Structure 1
Amino acid sequence: MRVLTPLLLCSLLLVTSMAPLYASSNQLDLDDESLVQAKASLIDFEVTSIEFGTGSNQAMEWSQPDGSIQEYVIRGLEIQIEITFTQAGTSSQPAYAEASLQIWHPVGFMIDEFTSNMTLSGQQSVVQQITWVPNMSHSELDGQGLLTGGIELVGMVDGGLADDNQDNNQLTRLMPVAIWHDSMDNGFCGDTDGDGANDCPNVPYANQPVWVGGGYEADGSLSSDPDTYGHWRMIDSDDSAEGDKHWRVAREDSDYASNRHDRLWWGWFTPFENCDDPGHG
């Protein structure tokens, strides 16, 4: 026992003397990590948000099956795009960065690009406003009414070597673009109620999309009951979601006429006596 006691005492002294070294080493590791984190957060440029339809032409709203709202725009109508850039770091010294907004078609080609630059201190933001006209459409609507797809809006910012966090330097948002917006307040139809007046405005516009009723027999031939326009008609309404009229294929407060084969066509009238496509954009 007298032999073991000095050995045990020596071991305890060694462990005790090493404990401060281990604690110091661990503290150094923590301090180094804190320094790295602090250094990385001094300058941190990010693309914070991309919004569209913020100008005079507001974005349209589509109600998704889950009750959420999906914004979309109409082809050929000027829109305003707002993209927000932020220097999310803590440095009080101004830092320089270059930024861009690229507009991509989903098939893989860039449609347009807008570039800018900025000088921001920590926690400062800048909003870039861009006016643009989508000259093509892209969106997808499935059988359940879910609207997806769209033109890609890609925001990018480059703060150079001083910006150590590259994970938030790019943001992409899809912008569905519809080919046309129609309140369906104009159309062509016949005199289904026999009062001597057409039941639609029947206002022609050359090369402008319009709705046209068509009446057909079971064999696909045009019907004469009551005329070739069939039974489609428009009625005045004060509860239409948009516009002042509703389309119906039966008299008001009546059921759909049985054994009918009527159709409602969407197309273009031309100033020519043929069906050649005149080009409508």
Structure 2
Amino acid sequence: MEKTKDLTSSSEAGSIKKRSQVKEVWRRFCRNKQAMVGMCMLLLLIFAAIFADIIAPYDPVEQDIINRLKPPSSAHWFGTDELGRDIFSRILYGSRISLTVGLIAVGLSSIVGCALGAIAGYYGGVLDNIIMRCTDVLMAIPSILLNISIVAALGTGLQNVMIAIGISSVPAYCRIMRASLLSLKEQEFVDASRAAGASDVHIIIHHILPNSLAPLIVQATLKIGGAILSCASMSFIGLGIVPPTPEWGAMLSTGRDFLRDAPHLTAFPGMAIMFAVFAMNLMGDGLRDALDPKLKN
């Protein structure tokens, strides 16, 4: 009975400690004004993506040739494009694609990269050499060239763009996870868990991964902005989202032909890309400062 009480009290103490750590991280994050600005910008972008059907005044693919290349006005806040489509509505709907690509591509790359990094760091030896040499090869290729090669092989489309961006981001997570494994796998709590008969998967998931989340969260936050920018770049060169689907990079690509006569065709999509990437960079910097134990004071 006493042992059961001791185990219960220790588990309760551990949960209280975790909650206090989360509160401390949140407090430090809230004290960072730039991080709060980034979070507000991100929430605004998410709100626009979720409620685009309600906020958008026009159908994003509906053409009105009579009102083509109209400048910003009360009827069309951001003007119209070369086919008379409302740019404001297309930017709202384009935020859905950008956020989807960013979240899914980063999620895919983080899962695959963390799994490979955990295997390489925990077991070492031949597996470590094979995995790390493969990541070295991927890192030696510029990400934009790697994305172009993958999309050219698989074909254009939203799914293939997400796969390409996810593959090019795998090495970063693999290296971070491997470095964390190398520094944590020899710790006493890992040896105690191993002596208690825990499996390797249990040790990695329940003991090592929670202690490696801080750098992974920061990396993922920053990579979302990079994924949005990569998606826009792929669409800009014609290898991304297929028209007439509204996407910021594709809007920039079509608007460059009318840069002198109608600069708003490129100005507003470019500002949307800058807004999203800037918000994620501010969030990433704020999370890095909040999760860094050296900055507690």
Flag whether TM exceeds 0.5 (same fold): no
Greater strand proportion: 1
* Structure number with bigger Rg: 1
Greater helix proportion: 2
TM-score by length of 1: 0.20
Highest relative contact order (Cα 8 Å, sep 6+), 1 or 2?
2
